Structure 1
Amino acid sequence: MAIEVVPEWMAQLDDEDVSFIKKFILASGSLKEVAGVYGVTYPTVRLRLDRLIQKIEIGEREGEEPYIALIKRLAVNDKLDFDTAKILINEYKKQKNEEG
């Protein structure tokens, strides 16, 4: 029996993200078809895909401070607005520079 290894970027995705990816693949990458499956407009699906891309990019960044990655994930997931995220990240970096 093979042991499955899930890439770090994939482990960061929630069930809804994985479901979206599955539907996207089954629709052969057609955003129009995915929009029909979800019953939403094409721009809504495009926005969802853009956010998913951002999540994956954040998950792929090696060596990034865990705190900064967390703040970015919260912003991408609409749990925190981007302006607040920038402020928190800048303050964190400022603190780190003062300590180091």
Structure 2
Amino acid sequence: MDRKMFSGNRYMTKGIQTFLRPDLQILLWDLIDGLDVEKDYLQVFKLEMKEEDLKLTHQQENPDYSVSYTVKVDHPSIHQEEKIFVIDDGDYATMMFASEY
């Protein structure tokens, strides 16, 4: 029986829990849930502060997908460019900073 990608339990690393605001964690999960293309097991998010705004780019390889958003944030938890991976291993999905991989 095939399971729908990113429909199982969801986890995050200590780094995400500590350094990424909860509202941004929820936003990333919502962007994955809202994908209208077939989902790759690896979802990649690039976050970069641009003055008062957060530029967020959501990507996957297969099928090729990339879209960028600008998010207004009052108190950013990101102060440098960050890359976040969300990996579905078939049983559960884990959100982590690329540096934690």
TM-score w.r.t. structure 1 length?
A: 0.29
Point out the structure with max Rg over C-alpha.
Answer: 1
Structure (1 or 2) with the greater helix fraction: 1
Relative contact order: is structure 1 or structure 2 higher (C-alpha 8 Å, sep ≥ 6)?
Answer: 2
- Give me the TM-score of the superposition, normalised by structure 2: 0.28
